[in-house]
Amino acid sequence: MLNKQLERIISAGIDIGTSTTKLVISEFSLMNVAGGGQVPKIEITDKKVLYRSPIFRTPLLSDTVIDIPAVQRIVESEYHHAGITMEKIQTGAVIITGETATKQNAEEMVHQLSKAAGEFLVAAAGPDLEGIIAAKGSGAYQHSIERRKTIANIDIGGGTANIAVYRSGTLCGTCTLHIGGRLMEWEGAEMKVAPSIEQWLKTKGYSPSIENRGIITDEMAKVLARFLDNSYTKEDEQLLVGKVPSWTGRIDGLMFSGGVSDCMYHEELMCTSFQDMGMTLATSIKENKELAYWEWEKPVETIRATVLGAGTHTTEISGATIEVNDSHLPVRNIPVYRIDFQGVLEQGIEGMTKAVQDAITIYDPQREGQNFAFYLTNLPYLSFRDIQLLTFAFTEALKQKPNQQQPLIIVMDSDYGKVLGQTLLANQPEKPVICIDQTQVEHGDYLDIGRLLRSGVVPVVVKTLTFHN
């Protein structure tokens, strides 16, 4: 029988934002929460932050290029100060946020850093994910559960405002806007304006200057209020990053995080050292009458909300009934193709050949052997004979893949991981299989799977990878 207390793992969170870079080291406790005689169910039962780094100015070589070696030096130095070696890091996330994701070498930087920062440390980017992670790090997600309310967390950094709306712990939607503290900067009389707001400023007829910054930030606060209220205009959409807001219904309360919120709450005075519009934007938001309509909730974290979320809220634990070849782990940045059985085994089996063909078309169109994962969802109850039928259909369909040597990666939300994995191995002993269960993903997500832990589970991170222009 497994002991209730199983093991502890170390997680790192690294946030490289438009203005600042920071790091946290956390410890997770894993426990078997299943009753005696039941299938083991391993969960993260406790999360403890071991180390918070100072807040560093994000190093840039130019307006369009990140100083990758300087970022790596920050990470290495902070690992040393935390008393942690790279080998001890088992999970976590590198998050690239805001305008930093538009830099020429942004994708190169996160992939280099994920390799240099530890055995299993993932790179994630994308405004939707940033908003979700920040909402968990700020406390908005938990607050919505405890108060049974709809809470919008607005994480405002140097280049963007990432909004995530939670209703009683359920994500209702996200939205990202070009509203941030460093979209206008100055040195002496010289003003620098981010390209992302130039067209909006022209449309509004605003001349970017130190004297006009209050007028501009006042209007940004009004735009933010209109997006939260779903009453935004076509003109407002010029500040939109990606898709329009995806939530419906009334928002009960607001919570602010990020560097600009630090200025709002006066918890740290570091924002006054930047020659930018951050403090002015904070004042405009605090004094905006439309935003005052909502109840304001105080966050548990402000400027460190995203990095805390990255270090403590991105990792899940697979089920214990899994089949994995540990020599092929960890795997990173594996895109997911969803196969929905809709409760009917025959329907899924009939469509298996086409599903594999479609997945190859999407993720490996040049047939270069790019790997991807299959997410099998809404399976009916399966007998052992059903498992054998599914295995045969899957094996035949997979013959279409150009690289037959790469691991077959399967994700399931039900408890059939071990039996399906072992049946596949019995059919093709030479083919590596990574088959995990009790994990929910979606089509288009990316997946990272860490090494097998002593408790017989693997850490899993589901993410988006978006380097926007």
The Cα 215–Cα 221 span in angstroms is 10
Per-residue pLDDT at 35: 66
Answer whether 5-125+310-315 and 140-299 agree in fold.
yes
Per-residue pLDDT at 452: 85
The pLDDT tens digits of the residues spanning 83-110 come to 999 888 888 888 887 677 777 787 788 7
The Cα 237–Cα 260 span in angstroms is 22
Minimal CA–CA distance to 260: which of 240, 241, 280?
A: 280
Per-residue pLDDT at 363: 83
Backbone angles phi, psi at 171, to 5 degrees: -70, 125
Minimal CA–CA distance to 282: which of 218, 375, 356?
A: 218
pTM of the shown model? 0.74
Minimal CA–CA distance to 97: which of 257, 214, 333?
A: 257
134-138, 185-189, 250-254, 418-422: least confident range: 185-189
The overall average pLDDT reported for the chain is 85
Minimal CA–CA distance to 408: which of 297, 306, 325?
A: 325
The pLDDT tens digits of the residues spanning 386-429 come to 999 999 999 999 899 888 888 999 998 888 888 999 999 998 88
Q: Report domain extents, the chain.
A: 5-125+310-315, 140-299, 322-437
| Eight-class DSSP state of 435 | E
The pLDDT tens digits of the residues spanning 162-183 come to 999 999 988 888 899 999 998 9
Backbone angles phi, psi at 63, to 5 degrees: -65, -20
The pLDDT tens digits of the residues spanning 134-155 come to 898 899 999 999 999 999 999 9
Region 115-132: mean pLDDT is 71
Region 280-290: mean pLDDT is 95
Residue 314 in this model has a pLDDT that exceeds 70? no
Per-residue pLDDT at 120: 65
3-state secondary structure of 315: strand
Q: How far is CA 198 from CA 98, 168, 194, 273, 438, in A?
A: 17, 38, 7, 24, 47
The Cα 465–Cα 446 span in angstroms is 7
Name the token pair of 274: 């930047």
> Do the beta carbons of residue 467 and residue 106 sit within 8 Å?
yes
3-state secondary structure of 162: strand
Per-residue pLDDT at 1: 37
Per-residue pLDDT at 80: 94
Domain formed by 140-299, architecture: 2-Layer Sandwich (3.30)
Region 255-265: mean pLDDT is 87
Domain 5-125+310-315 -> CATH class: alpha beta
| Eight-class DSSP state of 421 | H
Q: Which residues, in sequence order, are CB contacts of 399 under 8 Å at separation 6+?
A: none
Burial of 111 (0-12, 13-18, 19+ CB in 10 A): middle
The Cα 22–Cα 14 span in angstroms is 6
In one letter, which amino acid is 163? Answer: I
> Do the beta carbons of residue 110 and residue 123 sit within 8 Å?
yes
